[in-house]
Amino acid sequence: MPITYYKLPNGLRVILSPDSTAPTVVTAVYYRIGFRVEPRDRTGFAHLFEHMMFQGSRNLGKMEFIRLVQENGGVLNGSTRFDFTNYFELLPSNKLETALWAEADRMKGLAITEENLKNQQDVVINEVQVSVLNQPYGGFPWLWMPQHANSNWYNSHNFYGELKDIEAATLDEVQAFFKTYYAPNNAALAIVGDFEPEEAQAMIAKYFTGIAPAELPPPPDLAEPRQEEEKTATRQDPLANRPALAFSYHMPPRNSPEYFAMGLLDQMLVQGDDSLLYRELVKKHGFSGEVSGAINELGNMFDYDGPMLWTASLFHDSTVQPEQILSAVDTVVESLQSQPVEQSLVDRSITKMRSNLYDTLTQFGGFGRANLMACYALFDDDPSRIDSLEAEFRKVTPQLVERTAREYLRKNNRTVLRIVPGAAELAADPAVATEESN
């Protein structure tokens, strides 16, 4: 599919990808500010801020943005991730201009009150309650694992937010955060669907050209040191009644040959009933009914830009010890490290990956394509990378898989997280963290 990529004079990156399959259009604005980079005494701030972007701008008061999209026959959402915050609308294609006008309006500035902020602090606290604190296994493993596996604060803090931090946020802080990060030169606008690129370019020029760029702060150092010792963390979950186990390995650097090999290792190890860990842990040992796994549990292996984990997890019975499960995992991993895998296994992984890529790109009416193009524009200044992904996976050889398994599936590159069901007891072991301390 064709991609048009250019920048406005104010630095806004624009990516256009027409596709007339359905009379719908996705408009997605990505800001290069994720939850890694938020004020240290304000955990959860990037996400709270995302909520404030729906509370009012110059021409759209509270609820008016949401109502505008809805009454034009569309749906909308926003999400805060490791390295970006996005806002998107999926609308009938004749409403592209409406969406562009509205997104430009809130890129120009927020018109919000103390009351709006208090309201969204309550909503976000309810969100954290319903997703994590009031839920068995609430942060397992997506929220908790990065806190144990990483050592750099940017990667290891509670990014959903301590409730006291969410409560403490002020309106001035919200406006300052906007001023710092929500500028056109820190953003990408992606449009996918049924539209004429020339018409879209004219509309984009009309609504976005006048928005002033900002001086961006230097990016912080997100690097994680090489892990040299296996880590184990245990969390007591008073709401859970079966144990659970997750294990993570730090990923190779993005876009390196080893990174693409890890993409295939993910397919080999946990994706599908034909995968090695499914066969070993589910079918052979009966430890669990399924093994889940992912590179980036809050997205996919393409939409982040910093240190990342490959994580697998399962629920099991109290009669099974985590050591038994890990020993079975080791058997599988060691088989990958001791010799090159068969070419047929690599081929099958590439087929699964290719099929998966189509799903990723077509997810939610073309939103998936907008997501990847916006990320590659922001992180690599090259959205056409999405067209070369398949070729990168095809370069992976059995030898590279073996080398990657040796370096990245090292036991001392691993963090193990155990969930122990039942009420928390005061533990002397510093490795024991309870939900309350989270």
Residue 116 burial (CB < 10 Å; 0-12/13-18/19+)?
A: buried
Asked if 73 touches other proteins (CB under 8 A), the answer is yes
Contact call for residue 322 and other proteins (CB under 8 A) = no
User: Taking the complex as a whole, how short is the minimal distance between the CB of residue 319 and other proteins, in angstroms?
Assistant: 9
- Asked if 111 interacts with other proteins (CB under 8 A), we say yes
Instruction: Check residue 343 for interaction with other proteins (CB under 8 A).
Output: no
13-18: strand order across its sheet: 4-7, 13-18, 187-193, 24-31, 85-92, 75-80
Check residue 324 for interaction with other proteins (CB under 8 A). Answer: no
For the bound state, the minimum distance from the C-beta of residue 230 to other proteins, rounded and expressed in Å, comes to: 27
Least distance from other proteins to the Cβ atom of residue 21, Å = 5
300 versus 415: smaller Cβ distance to other proteins:
300
Helices 114-128 and 45-52 cross at an angle (nearest 10°) of 130
Decide: is 135 part of the binding site for other proteins (CB under 8 A). yes
Q: Which of residues 225-284 bind other proteins (CB under 8 A)?
A: 239-242, 272-274, 278-279, 283
Q: What are 208's two structure tokens?
A: 């976005």
CB 401 within 8 A of CB 346: yes
Encoded tokens for 310 = 């490959």
Q: Which stretch binds other proteins (CB under 8 A): 120-128, 323-331, 392-400, 407-415?
A: 120-128
Amino acid at 332: V
Give all strands (DSSP E) within 156-291, no chain letters.
187-193, 231-237, 244-250
Q: Applying CB under 8 A, which of residues 151, 331, 338, 351 lies at the interface with other proteins?
A: 351
* Rounded distance between C-alpha atoms, residue 14 and residue 275, angstroms: 39
122 in contact with other proteins (CB under 8 A): yes
Binding region for other proteins (CB under 8 A) out of 124-132, 144-152, 217-225, 334-342: 124-132
CB of 24 to other proteins, least distance (A): 6
Shortest distance in whole angstroms from residue 273 CB to other proteins = 4
Which residue's CB is nearer to other proteins, number 52 or number 251? 52
Gap between the Cα atoms of 90 and 75, Å rounded: 5
Residue 377 phi, psi (nearest 5): -70, -45
Count residues near other proteins (CB under 8 A): 84
The residue within the footprint of other proteins, chosen from 4, 10, 79, 125 (CB under 8 A), is 125
Rg of the chain's alpha carbons, rounded to an integer? 23
